[in-house]
Amino acid sequence: MGSSSYFFTSLLLVVVFNLAKGQPLVPALFIFGDSVVDVGNNNHLYTIVKANFPPYGRDLKNHNPTGRFCNGKLASDYTAENLGFTSYPPAYLNLKAKGNNLLNGANFASAASGYYDPTAKLYHAIPLSQQLEHYKECQNILVGTVGQSNASSIISGSIYLISAGNSDFIQNYYINPLLYKNIYALGARKIGVTTLPPMGCLPATITLFGSDSNQCVVKLNNDAINFNKKLNTTSQSLQKSLSGLKLAILDIYQPLYDLVTKSSENGFFEARKACCGTGLLETSVLCNQKSIGTCANASEYVFWDGFHPSEAANKVLSDDLLAAGISLIS
């Protein structure tokens, strides 16, 4: 057994031991970001960027679309399971996501959002700055539900997952640490931030920018790599300046790049084309029940639509997120 496999096995043993106590590893999970982690907030918005119709969600337990840009579970859903939660943080804009329903956390993510506010506004999505305002509202609801002392305990002990930048990484090439400082000021102490994925390997970006090649677009991948380096630098700086902050950078670039470039070794049949439609470009409204060519078995595909991983790929990515974020729960 290699050292990495030994480490991951040891990690799982630690997690299983803690979960045997019958409680989640942290009080709650709060999620911010874009379509990679949106579980239905965009369903309530006047925007074309939605996924609340078939074939989205076809491989979920009830086979119904929820607003997730996937055939099934997201990596963040698997993360919630890994942390011991029996349900997923609900979409905050869902009117049922109030009171006791917020005790295990909430999801504020909005497809087409990003670090750069104008990106979200272009598609009538919720920018991260507004997601933070929703979180403030959530804090007030928690205080009203369980009292100030219990709410403070939930807030400081919870994990905060931020997954953004896919929509706007070129416009927002330099990371602005203000978002992390603001969420820290609101009591967050355990923050996990995902890196950008290999943007040049997404089926849609290869189709649009690949110059008739089926290979990953090197320039876009290099942009993502440079962005991720700045994200790491920002993380190190913030942890030095903000007392008690645990900020883990959760790398999804390399795991997804490996799934694309070594797909057969990882149990996948197709990595260039997505499952939905032609697999070359479709996402959101272009990925629908009338899309010709949609695959029968999405588990063989790394990508569900032109921009988003399949449920099977999300399961693999979630295991890497667990390993990268162990410092947040240790």
pLDDT tens, position by position, for the chain (330 residues)?
444 444 445 455 555 555 555 689 999 999 999 999 999 999 999 999 999 999 999 999 999 999 999 999 999 999 999 999 999 999 999 977 788 889 999 999 999 998 888 889 889 999 999 999 999 999 999 999 999 999 999 999 999 999 988 776 544 455 678 889 999 999 999 999 999 999 999 999 999 999 888 999 999 999 999 999 999 999 999 999 999 999 999 999 999 999 999 999 999 999 999 999 999 999 999 999 999 999 999 999 999 999 999 999 999 999 999 888 888 987
Kind and range of the H or E run holding 314: helix 311-324
Whether residue 87 lies inside any domain: the answer is yes
Q: Is residue 179 part of a domain?
A: yes
| Within a domain: 303 | no
C-beta neighbour count of 153 within 10 angstroms: 13
Domain-located, residue 299: no
Q: Which of 147, 142, 248 is nearest to 195 (CA)?
A: 248
Residues 6+ apart with CB under 8 A from 207: 280, 281, 306
Instruction: Please state the length of the chain.
Output: 330
Report yes or no on 63 lying in a domain. yes
Q: According to the model, what pLDDT value does residue 244 have? A: 95
pLDDT computed for residue 7 by the predictor: 46
Domain contains 239: yes
pLDDT of residue 171: 43
Residues with active-site annotation: 35, 305, 308
Residue closest to 224 by CA, chosen among 269, 288, 165: 165
Contact predicate 325/248, CB 8 Å? yes
Conformational region of residue 194, where left means phi above 0, alpha means psi within -120 to 50, and beta covers everything else: beta
CATH number of the domain at 31, please: 3.40.50
The Cα–Cα gap between 112 and 51 comes to 12
Q: List the beta bridge partners of residue 160.
A: 30, 191
The residue segments making up the domain with residue 66 are 22-199+218-253+325-329
DSSP label at residue 252: -
Q: How far apart are the first and last CA of the chain?
A: 24
Domain count for the chain: 1
Q: What is the pLDDT of residue 117?
A: 86
Residue 286 included in any domain: no
Pick from 216, 322, 310: nearest CA to 266: 310
